């Protein structure tokens, strides 16, 4: 069996998506998500100029060897752009494998460990009362887990709060917008936010919060400690993850579970965090973390340390990634939770999906492979338009983490 061709489909039904399509001499093709929000064209070039020429002629069934070829075989390895390309290739090859064996992807990953996967949604508002309303409406939709983000008094625009109370999309058309931030105001406000949620909605709803890389280790330790009475399901990205040992301090001060890694792209970003049990959930998604082949290894390593999966699943990861993630989550034993921000309706004009949301859970059907298809003609109606993630400065002008 041989790979005969591959192409990259870039489209923008509501937002930019990048999809890799790999063709074989058996007439079967596979899809992989190659979307990297704000850096889409870099991945397109890496795939078209560096990966695809070497893919042609390879046997698509050799997922392990092809993964190693594009990881170990590359001198300048790792990084978000190259690993997103590797992930897309890997996802497409597993899609082909499932189609050739006429079985859904989860059957190739160990079969069903569960019938459905618990998801969490986003609830955000410009202030406390709008956020409380949004939490209530998400609970009414059946979600058992809600990520709560709110505007912070005294900060003009806070991460995670959508402008139009519909879809939260952080990328803006054109060059990066500048946002401003003040950690002290944020730290003073967040415990009040969760006190209010618990008062209104009780203890049974799982609550999550994303600090989005914005605290120092000692600030994160304070926040995690002050949130303990509200029993969060997790506090996400409390610090920026480059300094893995920085999370030791949080562990010393708090029992609030920690999730990290949506910006990670290989197991090497996790080694200290996992082996020292500094985290409770791995966020690195299939689309940025080396695909199914690599995440199987990461999830296996995490399971030894009783760490569960909690994959990133924002709307800037495509339906191909989400479907593959549901297969993965259906199969692995140490599944924790899956982020689920429903894509805009218009996305369904391009991507034909095979998953269903019902009462707080997602299920995947038994279509062979990943089971999502792309309507290339429809994709042409939505051409790429440049959009960038914001940059963030502290109120004194210092460049900071967005």
Choice between 99 and 213, CB closer to Mg ion = 213
Position 95 contacts Mg ion (CB under 5 A): no
Among 33-41, 66-74, 82-90, 262-270, which window interacts with Mg ion (CB under 5 A)? 262-270
Position 316 contacts Mg ion (CB under 5 A): no
Position 210 contacts Mg ion (CB under 5 A): yes
What distance, in Å, lies between the first and last C-alpha atoms of the chain?
A: 45
Within the chain, what is the greatest distance between any pair of CA atoms? 61
355 is catalytic: no
Q: Is the Cβ–Cβ distance between 309 and 117 less than 8 Å?
A: no
Which of 29, 106, 159, 355 is flagged as catalytic?
159
Among 32, 104, 170, 290, binds ligand CS2 (CB under 6 A): 170
Q: Is the Cβ–Cβ distance between 310 and 261 less than 8 Å?
A: no
Residues 296-335 vs ligand CS2: string with x where CB under 6 A? ----------------x-x-x-------------------
Give me 267's structure tokens.
């197991």
CB atoms within 10 A of CB 396: 8
Choice between 24 and 321, CB closer to Mg ion = 321
212 is catalytic: yes
The interface with ligand CS2 within residues 24-63 (CB under 6 A) comprises: 37
Position 90 contacts ligand CS2 (CB under 6 A): no
Q: How far is the CB of 212 from Mg ion (least distance, A)?
A: 6
Which of 212, 288, 312, 343 is flagged as catalytic?
212
Choice between 210 and 269, CB closer to Mg ion = 210
Choice between 38 and 136, CB closer to ligand CS2 = 38
Q: How far is the CB of 202 from Mg ion (least distance, A)?
A: 25
Question: Closest-CB residue for Mg ion?
Answer: 210
Among 36-44, 210-218, 326-334, 359-367, which window interacts with Mg ion (CB under 5 A)? 210-218
Binding residues vs ligand CS2 (CB under 6 A):
37, 170, 210, 212, 236, 262, 312, 314, 316, 339, 389
Q: What are the catalytic residues?
A: 159, 212
Contact residues: Mg ion, CB under 5 A: 210, 262
């Amino acid at each position: 069996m041989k790979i005969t061709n591959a192409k990259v489909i870039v489209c923008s039904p509501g937002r930019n998506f990048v999809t890799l399509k790999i063709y074989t001499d058996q007439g079967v093709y596979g899809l992989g998500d190659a979307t990297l929000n704000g850096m889409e064209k870099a991945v397109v070039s890496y795939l078209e100029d560096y990966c695809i020429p070497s893919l042609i002629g390879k046997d698509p069934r050799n997922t392990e060897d092809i993964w190693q070829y594009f990881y170990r075989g590359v001198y300048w390895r790792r990084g978000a752009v190259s690993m997103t390309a590797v992930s897309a290739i890997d996802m497409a090859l597993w899609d082909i494998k499932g189609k050739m064996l006429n079985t859904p992807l989860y059957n190739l990953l160990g079969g069903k460990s569960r019938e459905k996967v618990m998801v969490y949604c986003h609830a955000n508002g410009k202030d406390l009362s709008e956020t409380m309303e949004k939490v209530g409406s998400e609970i009414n939709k059946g979600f058992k887990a809600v990520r709560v983000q709110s505007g912070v008094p005294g900060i003009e625009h806070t991460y995670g709060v959508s402008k139009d109370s519909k879809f939260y999309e952080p990328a803006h058309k054109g060059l990066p917008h500048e946002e401003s931030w003040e950690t002290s105001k944020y730290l003073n406000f967040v415990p009040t936010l969760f006190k209010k949620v618990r008062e209104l909605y009780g203890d049974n709803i799982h609550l999550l919060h994303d600090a989005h890389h914005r605290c120092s280790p000692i600030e994160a330790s304070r926040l995690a400690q002050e949130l303990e009475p509200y029993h969060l399901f997790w506090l996400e990205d409390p610090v920026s993850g480059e300094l893995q040992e920085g999370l030791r301090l949080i562990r010393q001060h708090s029992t609030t579970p920690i999730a990290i890694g949506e910006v990670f792209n290989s197991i090497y970003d996790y080694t200290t965090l996992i082996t020292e049990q500094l985290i409770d959930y791995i966020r690195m998604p299939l689309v940025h973390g080396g695909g199914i082949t690599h995440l199987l290894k990461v999830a296996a390593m995490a399971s030894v340390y009783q760490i569960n999966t909690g994959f990133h699943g924002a709307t800037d990861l495509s339906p191909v990634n989400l479907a593959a993630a549901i297969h993965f989550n259906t199969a692995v034993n140490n599944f924790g939770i899956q982020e689920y921000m429903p894509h805009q309706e218009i996305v369904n004009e391009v991507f034909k999906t095979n998953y269903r949301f019902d009462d707080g859970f997602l299920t995947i059907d038994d279509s062979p492979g990943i089971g999502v298809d792309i309507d290339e003609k429809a994709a042409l109606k939505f051409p790429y338009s440049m959009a960038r993630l914001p940059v963030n400065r502290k109120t004194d002008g210092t460049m900071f983490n967005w």
